[in-house]
Amino acid sequence: MIDIPGQELTAEDRELLCHPLVGGFILFTRNYRDPDQLKKLCDEVLSLPRQRLLMAVDHEGGRVQRFRVGFSRIPAMRSFGHLHGEDPARALADARAQGETIGRELSAYGIDLCFAPVLDIDHGLSRIIGDRAFSDRGEVIVELARAFRAGLNAQGMAATGKHFPGHGAVTADSHLELPVDRRKEADIRATELAPFKTLIDDGIESLMMAHVRYTTVDTQPASLSKRWIGEILRDELGFRGAIFCDDLSMGGAAVVGDMEARARLALDAGCDMLPVCNDRDATIKLIDALARDLTPDRAASLRLKKLYGRHAGAQA
C-alpha cells in the first residue's frame, strides 16, 4: 500500500499504482485541498487500468483525521469513554453515529477503510495512543468499538482494529523508535488481548499490527513476528480477516534492517498488506527488489478483497 506526494497523480504515481505488487493506496492530509479535488483524485485512482486498488486513510477522529475542511469533525474516541461513565446508552449511540458519519463521508469518494477503531487499552503511558483509545478499561473498549464498527458497517465500510496486540502500555513512539513491553506474557494476555479477541469473535474484517517488541513472547516486533501473527492471531485466536502491517517506514520497524528486510520479514510472518509511506525512493527500490522473486499471494488478495465497501461492488 503506497502513497503519493501531491494532490494530483503524476506519471510516476500512475506507473507505481499500476504495478502488480501494489494493491492499495493510502491518502494523507497533503493529498487533500477540498472535496472536489479529492473526488477527482479518487476517481482517477479507481479508473486506473488495473484490478481495483484498496483505498484507505487514517481517519479515526481527534488528532488523527486527515480531512477536515468540508468533513464532519470527529471527536477523539476517549470522549465516548468519558461519556460512557455517565450515560452508557448515549455513549454507544454516539459512537455508532460517528462510525456512520465516517463511513458515509469517506465512502462517497470510494474510500474503503478509515483504519479504525483503536482497540488499545490506555494505561496512561503512551502519548501516541492517549485519547485515541476509548478507555483504560477493556470492557468499555469492547462496547464502544462494537458500536463504532456497527456504524461503519452500516455505511458499507469495513473496520480495522489496531494495534494488535496492544500499544497502550509502552512510552516510546513507534513512529520514531521501537517500543519495548517487558511484561509477562500472561499479563499481556490477561489485559491487552481481550478487546481484540472479542472483536475477532464478532467477525471484525481486518487488524493492524503494532511495531512493539514484547520481550517475553518474541524477539521480533509483533508486526514482523511469526509467533504473534501465525501462532497467536491466526491459529490460537482464529482470526481469518486481513492483516495489515503498520507503516514499514516507521522507526519501530527500522531496527530490523533496510526496507527490503522489513518487508520480507512482514510477509514471511503473515501480513497481507504492507503500507510503505512517505519515502518514494524506498518504495521504488522495494518494489523492484520484490518483483524479482515475489508473486502476489492469492489467499491474501482474497482476504483484502473482502474489505472493499459496497460502494465499490461493481468494480471489485
Helix ranges (H only) for 108-212 are: 138-154, 185-191, 193-202
Can you say how many angstroms the Cα of residue 306 is from the centroid of all Cα atoms in its chain? 15
Three-state secondary-structure class, residue 232? helix
The catalytic residue positions are: 175, 246
Can you say how many angstroms the Cα of residue 138 is from the centroid of all Cα atoms in its chain? 20
CB atoms under 10 Å from CB of 53, counted, come to: 22
Beta partners for 213? Answer: 180, 221
- Residue the block writes with cell 494505561: 123
Of 177, 175, 207, 176, nearest to 192 by C-alpha is 207
For residues 197 and 166, the answer to whether their CB atoms sit within 8 Å is no
